[in-house]
Amino acid sequence: MTGFGLTLLLVAIASIYALGLVGYRLLLSARRLNTELTKSKELIEDLNDFEMTMPSKAEANTGADLLSLLGQKRRISQAKEQRVKARRRRLLQRINNIDKDKR
């Protein structure tokens, strides 16, 4: 085999190898796309199955209900603050758990 034939063979093998790599990457991308599509279909089905609730009509409150309503409002605001603090704690924990050597 001559030098030209040998280089032609090497180029053909390299191009087949590169084509195989491109095909493999395409296969991996198609698999990821398929999983994301199934997830989105499930979420869309859940969204379509969601029942729309109509808000209740607002009613005027009397002075006798004031203390209980203020207590409910305080409990709601405290629960909201606790959720914010818990979220902040989780975020800080994630930041602290980041492995700095992998950067």
Q: Is residue 94 part of a domain?
A: yes
Residue type, 20: G
Q: Are residues 44 and 18 in the same domain?
A: yes
Residue type, 75: R
Q: Are residues 42 and 9 in the same domain?
A: yes
* Least confident piece of the model among 12-16, 36-40, 67-71: 67-71
Q: Is residue 35 part of a domain?
A: yes
Alpha-helix runs per DSSP H in the chain:
3-49, 66-96
What's the structural domain count of the chain? 2
pLDDT for the residue numbered 62 = 79
Q: Are residues 38 and 70 in the same domain?
A: no
Q: Longest Cα pair distance anywhere in the chain, in angstroms? A: 103
Tell me: pLDDT of 7 over 90.
yes
- Full-model pTM: 0.43
Residue with tokens 């914010």: 84
Distance CA 81, CA 79 (A): 5
Q: Are residues 102 and 77 in the same domain?
A: yes
Q: Are residues 43 and 1 in the same domain?
A: yes
The conformation of residue 102, written as its DSSP 8-state character, comes to G
Q: Provide the residue range defining the domain that includes 98.
A: 66-103
Tell me: pLDDT of 103 over 70.
no
- Decide if 61 contacts 69 (C-beta within 8 A): yes
